[in-house]
């Protein structure tokens, strides 16, 4: 489909279309290397690694959209839909050149339309903190800044025993019979949460659970709910990162009545124990940089910062 640039400048014709198979490999390195322009020697390696990831996660590269002016590709985007009516947009690092900004706007419009047609509710983007041009692009197109996410990891160098369950508490794993209990625990943990509070109310609980299940390899035996006298008190959701010796802490949360009682330490020890039980080498997670209590907990247990990203979200149900 073709769109013509509006009255703000010279009107070159911008064509927004699906990427051709021959164009996809040339775009991939710039989608996954952030603001660091990949060296020519890295191109083949980056494409190979990403295609392995795509195969393992059953993703579709033919969803890539490109914006073309004349015979030049000036911008491109890869939507990655996930269960739970959410999609992640991968953008090239460093933002569009100024002459390509109108094309980038049109490309996002097309991606929004495709996502809405598929029943997607939320679009998300992760950016390098230094990527000012893309930050401006997202703001201009209705995204809101959700959080700065701090990525942490730990490689436990000592055996971590199964922690003792606190008195008056019980621990259960996920199953169809405990599904409602997990849903209640997750919702209760969102109350007055400091972890990405901007997401509150944007998603239905069933979409939230589907999204968490899609993070890595879902194993119900690594999803835990903590109850106090049968009342939901906390939840810990883990997954294995496909193709890596890594456990991801997908979500950890406590009900307001359970906070400040040492239960976060219990759940994190449980996460490290489960990591070793799965014979994985490291435990990773992402946390809102404003969540001071959680950061204190993680640093106390020896997790170390490895990266940071800015998270943006757009509700596609509102125009």
How confident is the prediction along the chain (319 residues), in pLDDT tens digits per residue? Answer: 444 444 455 557 899 999 998 899 888 888 877 666 666 677 777 788 788 877 777 788 999 999 999 888 999 999 999 999 999 999 998 788 888 889 999 999 999 999 999 999 999 999 999 999 999 999 999 999 999 999 999 998 889 999 999 999 999 999 999 999 999 999 999 999 989 888 888 899 999 999 999 988 899 999 999 999 999 999 999 999 777 789 999 999 999 999 999 999 999 999 999 999 999 999 999 999 999 999 999 999 999 999 999 999 999 997 6
Give me the helix-helix angle, 101-117 and 132-140, nearest 10°.
50
**How far is it, in rounded angstroms, from Cα 124 to Cα 147?**
11
The confidence score (pLDDT) of residue 3 equals 43
**How far is it, in rounded angstroms, from Cα 69 to Cα 7?**
16
Q: Which residues share a beta bridge with 127?
A: 310
CB-neighbour burial class of residue 42 (10 A; exposed 0-12, middle 13-18, buried 19+): middle
The confidence score (pLDDT) of residue 37 equals 67
The confidence score (pLDDT) of residue 183 equals 97
Q: What angle do CA 34, 215, 114 make, to 5 degrees?
A: 65
Nearest to 249, CA basis, from 232, 233, 231, 269: 269
Nearest to 81, CA basis, from 119, 134, 34: 119
Q: Checking DSSP bridges between strand 122-127 and strand 282-288, what pairing results, if any?
A: unpaired
Report whether CATH 3.40.50.2300 matches the domain 153-308.
no
Nearest to 232, CA basis, from 251, 258, 208: 258
CATH topology of domain 2-142: Aminopeptidase (3.40.630)
- In which residue ranges of the chain is CATH 3.40.630.30 found? 2-142, 153-308
Cα-based distances in Å from 241 to 85, 88, 108, 124, 283:
21, 18, 29, 20, 10
Q: Which residues contact 129 (CB under 8 A, 6 or more apart)?
A: 148, 308, 309, 310
**How far is it, in rounded angstroms, from Cα 288 to Cα 44?**
34
Nearest to 101, CA basis, from 130, 124, 135: 135
The confidence score (pLDDT) of residue 43 equals 74
């Amino acid at each position: 489909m073709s769109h013509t640039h509006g009255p703000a400048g010279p009107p070159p014709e911008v064509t927004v279309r699906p990427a051709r198979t021959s164009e996809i490999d040339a775009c991939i390195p710039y989608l996954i290397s952030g603001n660091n322009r990949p060296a020519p020697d890295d191109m083949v390696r980056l494409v190979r690694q990403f295609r392995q990831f795509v195969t393992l996660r059953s993703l579709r590269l033919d969803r890539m959209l490109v914006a073309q002016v004349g015979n030049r590709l000036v911008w491109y985007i890869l939507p990655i839909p996930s269960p739970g009516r959410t999609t992640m947009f991968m953008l090239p690092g460093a933002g569009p050149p100024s002459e390509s900004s109108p094309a980038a706007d049109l490309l996002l419009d097309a991606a929004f339309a495709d996502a809405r047609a598929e029943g997607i509710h939320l679009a998300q983007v992760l950016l390098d903190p230094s990527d000012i041009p893309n930050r401006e692009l997202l703001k201009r197109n209705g995204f809101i800044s959700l959080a700065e996410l701090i990525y942490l990891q730990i490689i436990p160098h000592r055996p971590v025993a199964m922690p003792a369950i606190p008195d008056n508490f019980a621990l259960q794993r996920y199953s169809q019979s405990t599904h409602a209990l997990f849903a209640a625990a997750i919702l209760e943990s969102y109350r007055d949460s400091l972890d990405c509070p901007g997401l509150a109310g944007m998603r239905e609980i069933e979409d939230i659970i589907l999204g968490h299940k899609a993070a890595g390899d879902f194993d119900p035996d690594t999803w835990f709910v903590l109850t106090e006298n049968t009342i939901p008190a906390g939840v810990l959701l883990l997954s294995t990162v496909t193709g890596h010796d890594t456990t991801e802490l997908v979500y950890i949360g406590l009900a307001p009545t359970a906070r400040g009682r040492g239960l976060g330490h219990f759940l994190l020890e449980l996460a490290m124990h489960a990591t070793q039980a799965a014979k994985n080498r490291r435990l990773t997670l992402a946390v809102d940089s404003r969540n001071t209590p959680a950061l204190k907990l993680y640093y106390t247990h020896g997790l170390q910062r490895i990266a940071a990203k800015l998270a943006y979200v757009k509700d596609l149900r509102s125009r």
